[in-house]
Structure 1
């Protein structure tokens, strides 16, 4: 078999064999096998060239993908598969990239955890879930997360949430809201509790009362269309209690309101 054409096509080269068969190869393939027009090759050499061309092309694609930001091993695998790299060659590419430290899930997760500590707002549970979705090994994730203390992040998030909700909810509802919000962001119940205990959550009686009467107006307009008397009072009491208002405060307000 003879190479009858070598033609550059953007990032790849078109290799023509006996004016019949053609394939695309990388520049590294040209250099490695010292390919030239008119060169004679046998079937074994052609097969080697095809395999290396796929490996080289796949590695170049992976390096291009990684150049934008660090990627997990699974993300790179998925990217190569999506770009039609031979599934049998992908493991070899991954091994090569890991050997040269282009892929290192441990260091990547360590860096992401540190970034979250410095400027993020997630707890360990959410980070673990996100990293597992990226295909990272559970043991690697656990080894990383155990090194970090998320209590300061929880505190920063709690303070931000307090600024958002303070004056809009009664004390009990506010505390519940903060706790649930922190848990939703991946902090443990204990981390959430410790962060909230450090906040100044002393109820302001005037604010609480204003909020209560505002809520009574809203709920009264809703329930008075269907209920009256004792049943209306019960509906209002239950609804207000669910929203975190104190039973004694509700009873007192309703005596004046109804």
Structure 2
């Protein structure tokens, strides 16, 4: 059969064979097989061209996806599937991209961890979940996270949170808030405790007293509309305890307030 027409169509080329059969191929396919108008092809050559054209199309799609930012193998695989690339072609493309180092899940994991160590605010548990969601194998994640020291990141985040909540919560409430926040960011309890200990939090009696009365005013306005007497006292006690105030300080404040 003879190529009777070659026409560029955006990112692909239209090949017309014997004036009737049509086939879309990539520029790589044109170059690889030195295709030109009036060239004759055997059935075997055409089959090879079709196979390579499908692979080349899939690879070009993948490279386009990778041109914006680093991706994991699973992200590229999902992207090709969304564009209806055949499963067999997807795996061929993945293998080729890995061989050419366009895809490297180990490097991806290391990059994420290193960026976090420099300027991020996440601990190991959250990073692990993030990498798992990206489709990276557990074995790769385990190796990447092995021996990584998150103490500096945890300390940096703890200090930032301390500046945010200092003067707004009692010492115990502040410590609890910092601990909960750090754990929610993926740091271990031990890492959080060490970071908080490094802040040297001190209890300021005057500030604590001012804060507890401010909170008591707020909670009283809320609960006095529905409760009174013993029930009101219990509601206020529970509300203040949740904010981190000591029961002895709560009892003293309530004696003066009620």
2:7 is matched with 7
SS at match of 2:67: helix
What is the correspondence of 1:1-258 to structure 2 with a 5 Å cutoff? Answer: 1-258=1-258
Question: TM-score normalized by structure 2?
Answer: 0.96
Q: What is the Cα deviation at residue 130 of structure 1?
A: 0.8
In the TM superposition, what is the alpha-carbon distance from 1:85 to its structure 2 partner?
Answer: 1.9
What do the CA deviations read for 1:119-138 (whole angstroms, capped 9, x no partner)?
11111111110111110001
The TM-score with structure 1 as length reference comes to 0.96
2:244 and 2:4 map into 1 onto residues whose CA distance is: 82
How big is the shift at 1:167? 0.7
Cα distance, 1:230 vs structure 2: 2.4
Cα distance per residue 1:98-146 (max 9 Å; x no partner): 1111111101111111111001111111111011111000110110011
The secondary structure found in structure 1 opposite 2:88 is: coil
Q: Distance in 2 between matches of 1:26 and 1:223?
A: 72
Render the CA deviation track for 1:21-78: whole Å, top value 9, x for unaligned: 2121112111222212122223322221111001112112212221221111011111
Aligned-pair distance for 1:242?
2.0
Cα deviation, 1:148-179, whole Å, max 9, x if unaligned, reads 11110000000000000111111111111111
Deviation at 1:93, TM superposition (A): 0.8
The 1-side partners of 2:67 and 2:226 are apart by 64
Which runs of structure 1 show a deviation greater than 3 angstroms over 4 or more consecutive aligned residues? none
Distance 2:228 2:117 in 1: 54
Show structure 1 runs of 5+ residues with no match: none
Q: Which runs of 5+ in 2 are unaligned?
A: none
Once the 2 structures are TM-superposed, how far is the Cα of residue 229 of structure 1 from its aligned partner?
2.2
3-state SS of 1:168 partner: coil
Q: Secondary structure at the match of 1:15?
A: strand
